[in-house]
Amino acid sequence: MQWAGVIVPIAVIAVLAIIVLIVFLYIRARLKNFSRQAFGTDDLGKAVNQIQNASEQPRTVHGMTDIYLPAIQRDFPEFDYEVFKSRAQGVLRSYFAAISAKDMGLLNDDCSVSLRNDVYSIIGDLESHGYDRQISEGTFHQTEIARYIKNGATVSIVFNISVGHYDFTQDKNGKLISGKTDRKRETVYDVNLVYVQDEEKLAIEGGRSLGLNCPNCGAPIRNLGQKFCDYCGTGVVEVNTRTWRFESIKEERSNARPY
């Protein structure tokens, strides 16, 4: 009887150990089955590597350039796709630099007042929390036109730019708040290029003026593709090439900033 007090606890422990082993084997079998179906391998380590490698693959963009570009060039014969694609990339690079350095002066001249206000808000948000966000220029994999939108006041061309770069946020003590310091993140940005067709209608709709004016008399240039000033007759073809402004930049992801 004196051994009963020892044998019973040992038996209980043995039963619990067997139960834990059975549960472990069951979970492992389920994971292997899932891994085999999803990744074609029973090796969980290989499956994890596949997931990591997939996250480091360039994101695809909504490549609609071949569809939209002919329509854009019918409306704007002087529109040079390669030039504006390069300008869109330059604006995005300046966006990264301005946020990283918390310096509005690093923004590209092609940025509208609206985009500058957005960056100012992001910088203010970082400063209010005592955070620093570092966004490397990284690699631009692909740039395509994704949408061409015409309404009563404006014309918008949305560029999709696929980027692989480091993007992380730290507090003043260097503690990581979001992102990874040792791994690039693959993502896509929407860079919105806007042309004002009718500045008066834009004002009625509550939009923000981009400052389209005659270089001679200062009168507003209100109509799409207008070649001459209505007031003084000065040619404004060159002005029209400068009326395009990059209005916004938005990353294609559902989660908000974690601060």
Q: Residue by residue, what is the 3-state secondary structure of 164-227?
A: EECEEEEECCCCEEECCCCCCEEEEEEEEEEEECCHHHHHHCCCCCCCCECCCCCCECCCCCCC
Q: Which two tokens stand for residue 91?
A: 């604006």
Q: What mean pLDDT, rounded, does the chain reach?
A: 79
Of residues 155 and 9, more confidently modeled:
155
| Adjacent-strand bridge partners of 186 | 164
- What pTM was estimated for this model as a whole? 0.65
Residues of the chain with pLDDT > 90: what percent?
42
* Ranges 26-30, 206-210, 222-226: which has the least confidence: 206-210
Q: Inform me whether the pLDDT recorded for 25 exceeds 90.
A: no
Spell out the domains of the chain, with CATH numbers in brackets.
4-55 (no CATH), 65-251 (3.10.450.240)
Residues of the chain with pLDDT > 70: what percent?
69
pLDDT for the residue numbered 101: 96
pLDDT for the residue numbered 47: 54
* Ranges 8-12, 98-102, 198-202: which has the least confidence: 198-202
Q: What is the pLDDT of residues 188-206, one digit of tens each?
A: 999 999 987 655 544 444 4
Q: Inform me whether the pLDDT recorded for 67 exceeds 80.
A: yes
Give the mean pLDDT of 22-33: 82
